[in-house]
Structures are given as structure tokens and as C-alpha cells.
Structure 1
Amino acid sequence: MKLLFDFFPIVLFFVAYKFGDIYVATLTTMGATLVQLILTWLITKRVDNMLKVSAGIIFGLGSLTLIFHNPDFIKWKPTVIYWIMAIALLVSQLAFKRNLIRAAMQEHIQLPDPIWSRLNFAWIAFLAIMGVVNILVAYSYSEATWVNFKVGSIGITLVFCVAQMMSIARYLPKDPS
């Protein structure tokens, strides 16, 4: 359910773009992100750092898009978020010997240390590649194609998550019944 909530602004971006333009979609995403922040705070009494960073990027690049009437700023948003996440995972692992994927999931899943490490580096690679692909699509194809890719990236991410779950499934405890 949280995953759907996280993609809520992207879906609204797509819908707003189909009925308006990139500027309407940008403003809609900014509003949806504000609603997301407020609801998160009201429900959990806290807002995690990644949502704060993501919101800051959306508000910052979205504002620049609207002020300068230039869609290039909002087109960079996915790449900036992907790369910040990849860098955070990499720096945390290499500099601080802390695996953030493990920290987020170990309460629910127990895996051997090498598998946690592989999972972390798989996410780093995925996020870095998605950032590059976003820029390639944004500057090589039409705006409409980029918007479709942006929404399609939800599916790409879900497929990657399923692939990761399948790769770690053999390490999960078997149900005795």
C-alpha cells in the first residue's frame, strides 16, 4: 500500500498532463506531494527523510519549471531523485559500512550478509541506470514520450522489485505447514 501511496504524485502528473500540459502536470504534482506530506504526518506523526528530500526536489525543480516556463527542470527530477538514492546507498555502504536496504527490510526479512550486500548494489546499479535512461528519454524523444516513460518507470520499478524478491526467495524461511 505504501508503494502505491509513494507513486500517487506520479500518477496524478500523468493524468494532469493528459488533460492539460507539462505545467499543469507540474503544479498538480507539487500539490499532490504537499497532500502526501500532510497525510504522512497526520497518519504517522513523522515524515521520512527520503520523502522530505523528494518533496524538496519536486518543489524546487517544479517551481523553476513554472517560473521560467521551461520543462527541462521537471524532466531532471526523476534523475536527481534516482541518483541521490543511489549515492546514499553507495556512500552509506562504503563509507559507513551501513546497508540501507538491510536497515529498511531486516525487520521483515532475514538474509545472509553477502545477499544483503548484493541486494544493495543491485539497487545502486538500478537507480543509476534509471537516472541515465530518464535523461536519454527526456532529451531524445518528445515530451509526451518522456511523460509516458516517467509513468512506465513505475512498472519498471515494480518488475525490478519482483526480480529482487525472486532472487532472495530461496533464502527466506519455508512455511512449515
Structure 2
Amino acid sequence: MKQPKPWVKSALELGPVILFFAVFMLFRDDTVSVMGRDYGAFVFATLIFVPVLVASTLVLWRLTGKLAPMQIATLVLVLVFGGLSVWLNDPRFFKMKPTIIYLLFAAILAVALVSRRNWLGAVLSEALPMTDAGWRKLTFRMMAMFLALAVANELVWRLMSESSWVWFKTFGLPLLLFVFLMANAGLYREHALEKPQEEPQDGE
């Protein structure tokens, strides 16, 4: 199946998050009435975000023919916790969603380490070919990172303002993930697999 252009894929993945941020910032000082029920800005933004994420994920699936396990898990948890926040008109459930996601990923990586399974490599080996030792180190580091992000999310949403959490979720968490990936550049180089040299053609 033909792969979508990179900008289309990025728009489908990041668009719902940016929309959530924009809707929250636009209505953060208001109460919005939907079908006779009043919502604060956060829950109203969640009400918009959930169906948009479902639609963008379905479009991405249609274009690529597949979804990553992380995308499926994220979609399910968004439906569950986002739906609870809207249904109960309580933003706490949606704020807890990143914590659950990060703990789930940390648990999966912990099982991979204990069982000596290279699940991370099975997903990323084409983009990042490394030795088994390299994948074990990266698996442990990513497990620790997800645990740290889960703790950070809990601290921010419980101790700081709603606006602070929205900024943290929209920009802080992606930035921390980017810094983590860049910080492991040395590991990628140290454990990179050498590309097999091509056989010389006859007559060369």
C-alpha cells in the first residue's frame, strides 16, 4: 500500500493534540453549553478531541493499512478516559490518561527485559538497526523514562493549574521525549549494525 506523504502523517498524528490545545485556550475562561449541559474548557476540549482523534486514526489506518500497537493502545485509553471525563464532566480522568499509558508501556518493556525478548527491536529495527545488547540497554532506559514521565504527569496535574497541565501535555512531554531520543545518540552509534557491503559487479 502506498505510504502517505510525511506531512500528511504528521498532521493526522499531531492535529488532534493541537486542536485540543487551541480549543482549551480559546474557551479557558468560559463555560460552554452543549445540548443543555455546561462544560468547562477542559472537558469541552476533550469532547472535541476524542472524535477527532478517532477520525484521524481511522484515516491513518486507511492510508497506511496498519496501526502501531502504541497507536491502538492510545486510542483505546483516550476513548475510555476521555469518555469518562465527558460523561461525568470531570477532567481528572483525562488527565490520568498519560499516566496509565506510560505505566502500560513501562510494564511491557519490563516484561520484555525479564523474558529477554527484543520487542522494541521488533518494532523499530528497520529504522534503527542495532545489536541485541544495544536494544536491551535502550529498552531499560525507555522503561525508566516512561516511569519518570508517569510520575511527572501525576505531579503536574495534581499540583499545578489546569492550564499548566495542558501546556505540559501539549509541548512538555513531546519535548522530553525528543531530548531522551537525542541523549541516546551515543548508544545508537555504539551498537549500530554495520551495513553489509554490496558484492562488486562483474567487470568492475
The answer to whether TM tops 0.5 is yes
Partner of 2:128: 109
How far apart are the structure 2 equivalents of 1:167 and 1:3? 26
Residue deviations 1:66-113 (CA, integer Å, cap 9, x gap): 111111101001111111111111113313x21222112222333222
* C-alpha deviation, 1:3, in angstroms: 6.3
- Runs of 5+ unmatched residues, structure 2: 1-5, 28-40, 198-204
User: Which whole-Å deviations, capped at 9, do the CAs of 1:134-157 have from their partners, x for residues lacking one?
Assistant: 001100011111111111211111
Cα deviation 1:15-64 (Å, max 9, x = unaligned): 12111210122122212211222112211223333222211110111111
User: What code does the residue aligned with 1:117 have?
Assistant: R
Moved more, 162-171 or 55-64: 162-171
**Residues in 2 aligned to 1:82 and 1:11: alpha-carbon distance in whole angstroms:** 20
Matched, 1:46 2:66: yes
Aligned twin of 1:8: 15
Kindly indicate whether residue 56 of structure 2 is the aligned counterpart of residue 36 of structure 1.
yes
- Cα RMSD for the two superposed structures: 2.1
Contact 1:30 1:62 in 2 (8 A): yes
TM-score by length of 1: 0.88
Larger Rg: 2
8 Å contact from structure 1 (residues 9, 32) kept in 2: yes
Amino acid at match of 2:137: R
Q: Distance in 2 between matches of 1:43 and 1:59?
A: 22
Q: Bigger CA drift: 38-47 or 163-172?
A: 163-172
The alignment's TM-score, normalised by the length of structure 2, stands at 0.77
Counterpart of 1:118, as a letter, is K
CA contact (8 A) 1:22 1:71 kept: yes
Percent of aligned pairs with the same amino acid:
28
Number of equivalent positions: 174
Q: Residue 130 of structure 2 aligns to a residue in which SS?
A: coil
Question: Which protein is richer in helix relative to its size?
Answer: 1
- 1:19 aligned partner: 26
Structure 1's unaligned 5+ residue stretches are none
2:85 aligned with 1:78: no
Give the equivalent residue in structure 2 for 1:65.
85
Shift of 1:9: 2.7
Q: Which residue identity is paired with 2:25?
A: K
- What letter matches 1:149 in structure 2? F
Query: How far 1:4 sits from its partner (Å)?
Result: 6.4
Counterpart pick for 1:165 among 185, 192, 199: 185
Q: Secondary structure at the match of 2:127?
A: coil
Distance 1:82 1:5, change over 3 A: farther
Where in structure 1 do 4 or more consecutive aligned residues deviate above 4 Å? 1-5
